[in-house]
Structures are given as C-alpha cells and as structure tokens.
Amino acid sequence: MAKIGFISLGCPKNLVDSEVMVGLLQKKGHTITADPAEAEILVVNTCSFIEASRMESIETILEAARLKNSGACRKLVVAGCLAERYPKQILENLKEVDALVGVNQIEDIVRVVSDEPVNLPDSYGRSDADLYLYDHTTPRALIGPRHSAYVKISEGCDHACAFCVIPKIRGRYRSRSIPSLVKEATRLASRGVKEIILISQDTTSYGLDFGMQDGLASLLEALAGIRPLRWIRVLYAYPSLFSDRLIGAMNSSEKICRYVDMPLQHASARVLKAMKRGGTRKSLSRLVGHIRKKIPGVAFRTAMIVGFPGETKADFLELKDFCREMEFDRLGVFTYSDEEDTIAGALYPKIPGRTAEYRRRVLMQQQKRISARKNRALIGQKLPVLVQGPARESDLLLEGRLQSQAPEIDGICLINDSEIDDVKSGRLYTVEITRAFDHDLLGRIVR
C-alpha cells in the first residue's frame, strides 16, 4: 500500500473526479497524504480549458517532478483534461511523468498506482461506450470542507460554443439518474453535509439525454425532500434552457438557494452569433428580468468573455453597458483564449491580448462599484450564514457565506462578534451585517 498525494486543479467537476479517485484508492487501502513532499506517488489532476489553466497544469507537473528528485516521490501520475487532450505530448515532453489517467479512465487510478499497464487516454478514438460517469455506488472521499459538497449530475456537453474545447475532452452529454443522485445526496447529508452544489457543464440540460423535459426541476424537488440538507445550490445554467418549470421548482423549497449562475458570455448579438450561442442583448435582459421578477431576492451570477475574435470597440461598449444596466450580483470576466480544435480558433481578426486584458479590467472596475453598492444595501439586515470556520486571513475572525455567495467564486461574510457561545463550523446562524466591502461583508452572529 502506498502513500499517495493529490493535487487537484481546475473546476469543481475536476475536484469531484479527484474525490472519486481518492475514494477508490482509500477503499484499496492506500493512504492519502496532504503533503506532496511525503507522497510516494503523486497525482496531478489537471485542467486544460484555456491557455492560463494549461500553463498552471504544466507548472504544477514540473513542481511535482522536482519532488521525484528531492522528495519521497517515485511515481508521477497526470490525470484530468490535459492528460485526456495531450497524452502523447505529455509523455514526449515531460519525461518525469510515469502514467496518465484520462477523464474517462478515473477508475484506472487503482491499477496505475499498482504499476499495472493501462491504455493511453484517447479523446479522438474513444466511443460512447468508453465514456465514464461515477454514481452513488462509487467510493468518493470529500477533499473540501465537511459541510459543503459538489454533486456532479451529468458529464460532457452537447452544445457547440465556438470558443470551447470541453465537448471534445469530456464527450457527449450524459446524465445520472435521479435515484442515484438522491442516494448520493442522502449519504452526504448523513455525514454532516449541509449544502450540496449541483454541477455539470450545463445543469439545465439535465435529463434531456434520457428524454426528460425539465429534468433539473424534478431533481431539485426530489433533493429538497432530504431532511438534513439546508441548502441546495445550482451552478452552470444555460440561458435558453431556463424554464418557468425550473423557476417554479426553485421557489418550491426554502432549501433551494435563490441563486442563479448562468454564464451569458457576451451581449452583442453579432458576437453571440459568432460564439454559436445565439441571443441578443434584448432577449438576455428580458430573461434576466423575468428570473428576477419570478424569484424574489435572487442573486444572479454570470460570466463574460472579452477579446473574442472580431469583437469591435462597439461590441465591447454594448457589453459594458449591458452589465451596467443589469447590475449582476456576481460577475466573472475572462479574456478569450485561442484554442486549437475550436471553431473560434479559425476566426479573425484576433484581438491583441493587452486590449482584451484592458476590456476585462474595465468591466471588473465597473462591477466592483456595483457590488460595493449592493453590499452596502445589506448593512443592518439579518441574514442566514453558513459558517465555514476560522477566516483564512485572520484567526480573530470567522468566515461564512450567505445563500447569495457560492464557494470559491464569490465573496464571503466575515464574522467578528457573536451573541452565541461556541459557534460551530458547518452550522447556519443568523448574522446581522455591520460593514460592507467591494465583494465581502462583515457581521455579527445574533442567533
């Protein structure tokens, strides 16, 4: 039995893959260590979505490789999207890498650490039969906090966004069954998880692959019946699939977070068309307005891409004005990354990196003012907060999240006072907001 170290990069979907691999290895009796320096086997679960994440993955692999010379490491395994996309290039150029585990070979990790041969990932040659998706019977060990867990409801994607390589890496869309998801969520809740976060490439397509309409709505209603759960959050919604049935389901239980995460990517009809996403500024503002009217108090998160090939100054100003008008509660802005094997990779003119970066900064500056104003409006309000534990920046404070704050991507609520003794992590408390910052809040526990 080996001592194995895991480094998990990329999105929450990749984190779930890491947790499944850890679960499988622990079931086989292996020990998992949080300290890469003492690991005999190191697994780097990589991301390959855009240039920046690929660079981070390669740097992390090289860092891990150095441990083969200085630490206990005798075997270096690369898993995830980079392994799936560039198997041959990794083995040719990174000689320290001993084995690869693709995104559809998650369960091969057990054989790899036992030095058994496995096939190389082959995202081009694989068939549908090779596509992998864990279920409630698959061992899984939570790597993140004990009170909040991601649940992957499907894998792959059937959309064809011009800038995105994920369908090529992760394959066609395939959903898990509602009974399997309810069983997994029930087990997580029985282990103290208070918040589950439903993730996939597109949660609103859930169930379409087995002929279900509004599958996500039915899933939410089924999950809302799990007693110990307090919050059910949904990420990665797709604009054209956000139905009134889903809105109804989101309003059907206090447990379902009044939180919508819907990457819109742009607001110029011309750019949206080139991105193969469709829609116009008018149709998107109508959709956002409709959701806000039908789900009172909903927090709206979105993501935009600037610097897409052919994006003019006028397109950008329309996007900026749209974001000013919509006043999103949460906004992430990414600079376009030219990806081989994508439609956009062949589109011109390319926008210079510094122009794209300038546009990203301008949008985030505008958003900072919007976020600060919205946060100030919360001062004096008493709101439910899920306490996560000591603050990362100061052990004088606790940190938690409101329902309108998703982990890792949104701000937090710091807590510097309490009318309650012995505050416990993973519990919900009512917090009175006393101060507001650009993205974070400060408050005191009142009950």
Decide if residue 202 touches ligand SF4 (CB under 6 A): yes
> Which residue, 109 or 164, is less far from ligand SF4 as judged by CB?
164
Residue 344 C-beta: closest distance to ligand SF4, Å: 11
Q: Does residue number 159 form part of the binding site for ligand SF4 (CB under 6 A)?
A: yes
Asked if 234 touches ligand SF4 (CB under 6 A), the answer is: no
Q: Is 406 in the site for ligand SF4 (CB under 6 A)?
A: no
Nearer to ligand SF4, 86 or 163 (CB): 163
Q: Could you give the CA distance from residue 203 to residue 246 in angstroms, rounded to a whole number?
A: 11
One residue of 201, 204, 388, 404 binding ligand SF4 per CB under 6 A = 201
Positions 236 through 265 that interact with ligand SF4 (CB under 6 A): 238
User: Which residue, 167 or 389, is less far from ligand SF4 as judged by CB?
Assistant: 167
Contacts of 152 (CB under 8 A, 6+ apart): 13, 16, 133, 134, 176, 199, 200
Pairwise CA distance, residues 301 & 303, whole Å? 7
**104 vs 371 by CB, closer to ligand SF4:** 104
Which residue in the set 22, 64, 82, 164 belongs to the binding site for ligand SF4 (CB under 6 A)?
164
The answer to whether 444 and 419 are in contact (CB under 8 A) is yes
CB closer to ligand SF4 out of 164 and 331: 164
Per rule CB under 6 A, is residue 161 in the interface with ligand SF4? yes
Q: Which of 151, 276, 137, 153 shows the shortest CA–CA distance to 210?
A: 153
Q: At what angle do helices 353-376 and 313-326 cross, to 10 degrees?
A: 10
Q: Which is nearer to ligand SF4, 242 or 429 (CB)?
A: 242
Among candidate residues 219, 204, 213, 120, the one with its CA nearest the CA of residue 157: 204
Question: Among 71, 144, 145, 167, which residue interacts with ligand SF4 (rule: CB under 6 A)?
Answer: 167
> Does 414 contact ligand SF4 by CB under 6 A?
no
Tell me whether strands 259-261 and 299-306 are parallel, antiparallel or unpaired: parallel
Q: Quick one: which of 25, 157, 235, 398 contacts ligand SF4 (CB under 6 A)?
A: 157
Spatial distance between the Cα atoms of 263 and 185, rounded to a whole number of angstroms: 25
Q: How far is the CB of 32 from ligand SF4 (least distance, A)?
A: 29
Binding to ligand SF4 by residue 298, rule CB under 6 A?
no
Least separation in angstroms between CB 336 and ligand SF4: 12
The pair of three-digit structure tokens given for residue 353, joined into one six-digit string: 């990196």
3-state secondary structure (DSSP) of residue 171? coil
Cα 135 from Cα 139, distance rounded (Å): 9
| 14 lies in the binding site for ligand SF4 (CB under 6 A) | no
Count each helix (H run) and each strand (E run) in the chain, helices first.
13, 18
Q: What is the largest CA-CA distance in the chain?
A: 61
Stretch in the footprint of ligand SF4 (CB under 6 A) among 87-95, 156-164, 215-223, 346-354? 156-164
Pair of tokens at residue 159: 């959309």
Structure tokens of 255? Answer: 């447990």
**Closer to ligand SF4 at the Cβ: 19 or 202?**
202
| Strand ranges, E, within 187-271 | 195-199, 231-234, 259-261
Q: What is the binding site for ligand SF4 (CB under 6 A)?
A: 157, 159, 161, 164, 166-167, 201-202, 238
